[in-house]
């Protein structure tokens, strides 16, 4: 399905968002029956999915679309669609009253805030195609990014599966990757091998700062039309014996609805400590003090963390330390 980038698409999506906010909002059951075709496609929802998966996808999409809105409008989205577990009232008027109290405004003003928030959600999901395509930003956003970092292989290997949605016609994507050195790593060579497993080809690869930073321009198999989804998977592999810093983070440069990070440690060689990095400033990533959100490897040596409604410019992922102080 290709929603297109026209007035009809915007009007249909707006009406579906207005319909969804009525009554219980996201507390409706079964939720998929409350979703119109435009909204279901935008969220990647199918009727066969479990109710919990449908609700999680719709929630993640609404949070991602509202991530760059002013604080009062973000709060309007959260309350209007019953995303706040403390105030998930089954009636919209009660949720509107709550917004009015929080903003210290009258109810009719709170209703206007909700209406404005819906309009901004539509513009974020179906933006206007700019006249000058060179001034169009990335031209796409991420529905999901799922990362697997294997530390149980001969050398660390990273797989990044991305599901992108075009917001204007595009035939290529730009992806950036960084691999900072360990403080005691003074080896002459430092870098990473990059490849695409499916969904694209590397058109251009540029290395900066002695190979620590990569910029990949990826050629897509065809021109994606506005609203069209496409899946691809990137693969990174470190040279044998090269150390890496003990964290993996994803820092979205385009809006991202959902991200899952999974680390697989060697059997019997798991971390002393692992913890979540949830929306931290990039400069804080290298702080080695374990955070409060600890993670424990499961029976096969994996730790997993999921993030919804990621904000651009912040880092999301997992950090760890080994008991012997060694570096993978």
Q: Could you report the per-residue pLDDT of 171-213, keeping only the tens digit for each? A: 999 998 887 766 665 556 667 899 999 999 999 998 876 657 8
Over residues 23-30, the mean pLDDT reads 88
The CATH number that domain 134-321 falls under is 2.60.40.3140
Question: Strands 140-150 and 256-264: what pairing?
Answer: parallel
Contacts within 8 Å (CB) and 24+ apart, 228-231: 228/2, 228/165, 228/166, 229/44, 229/143, 229/163, 229/164, 229/165, 230/163, 230/164, 230/165, 230/166, 230/199, 231/161, 231/162, 231/163, 231/164, 231/198, 231/199
pLDDT confidence of 220, banded at 50, 70, 90? very high
Domain boundaries defined on the chain: 7-125, 134-321
* Contact (Cβ atoms closer than 8 angstroms) between residue 264 and residue 301: yes
Q: Where are the alpha helices (DSSP H) in 66-202?
A: 71-80, 92-103, 107-125
Residue 205 exposure: Cα atoms within 13 Å on the Cβ side: 16
Residue-wise pLDDT for 156-182, tens only, equals 999 999 998 887 788 999 998 887 766
pLDDT attached to residue 136? 41
Residue indicated by tokens 């050629």: 219
Over residues 302-324, the mean pLDDT reads 84
pLDDT attached to residue 192? 85
Residue 258 main-chain phi, psi, to 5 deg: -150, 140
Residue-wise pLDDT for 113-169, tens only, equals 999 999 888 877 765 444 333 334 567 878 889 999 999 999 999 999 999 888 778
Above pLDDT 70, what percent of the chain?
87
């Amino acid at each position: 399905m290709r929603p297109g980038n026209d007035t009809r698409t915007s009007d249909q999506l707006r009406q579906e968002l207005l319909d969804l906010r009525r009554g219980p909002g996201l507390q409706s059951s079964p939720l998929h029956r409350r979703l119109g075709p435009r909204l279901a496609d935008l969220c990647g929802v199918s009727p066969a999915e479990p109710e919990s998966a449908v609700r999680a996808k719709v929630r993640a999409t609404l949070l991602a679309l509202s991530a760059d809105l002013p604080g009062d409008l973000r709060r309007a989205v959260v309350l209007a669609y019953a995303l706040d577990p403390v105030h998930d009232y089954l009636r919209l008027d009660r949720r509107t009253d709550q917004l009015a109290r929080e903003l210290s405004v009258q109810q009719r003003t709170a209703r206007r805030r909700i209406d404005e928030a819906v309009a901004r959600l539509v513009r974020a999901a179906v933006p206007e195609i700019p006249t000058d395509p060179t001034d169009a930003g990335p031209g796409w956003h991420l529905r999901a990014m799922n990362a697997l970092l294997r530390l149980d292989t001969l050398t660390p290997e990273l797989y990044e599966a991305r599901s992108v949605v075009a917001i204007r016609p595009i035939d290529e994507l730009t992806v950036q990757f960084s691999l900072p050195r360990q403080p005691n790593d003074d080896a002459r060579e430092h870098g990473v091998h990059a490849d695409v497993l499916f969904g694209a080809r590397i058109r251009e690869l540029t290395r900066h700062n002695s190979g620590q930073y990569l910029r990949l321009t990826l050629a897509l198999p065809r021109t994606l039309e506005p609203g069209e989804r496409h899946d691809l998977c990137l693969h990174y592999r470190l040279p044998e014996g090269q150390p890496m810093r003990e964290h993996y983070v994803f820092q979205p440069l385009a809006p991202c609805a959902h991200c899952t990070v999974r680390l697989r440690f060697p059997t019997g060689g798991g971390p002393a400590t692992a913890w979540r990095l949830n929306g931290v400033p990039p400069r804080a990533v290298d702080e080695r003090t374990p955070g409060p959100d600890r993670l424990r490897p499961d029976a096969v040596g994996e730790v997993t963390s999921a993030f919804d409604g990621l904000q651009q410019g912040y880092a999301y992922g997992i950090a760890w330390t080994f008991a012997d102080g060694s570096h993978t």
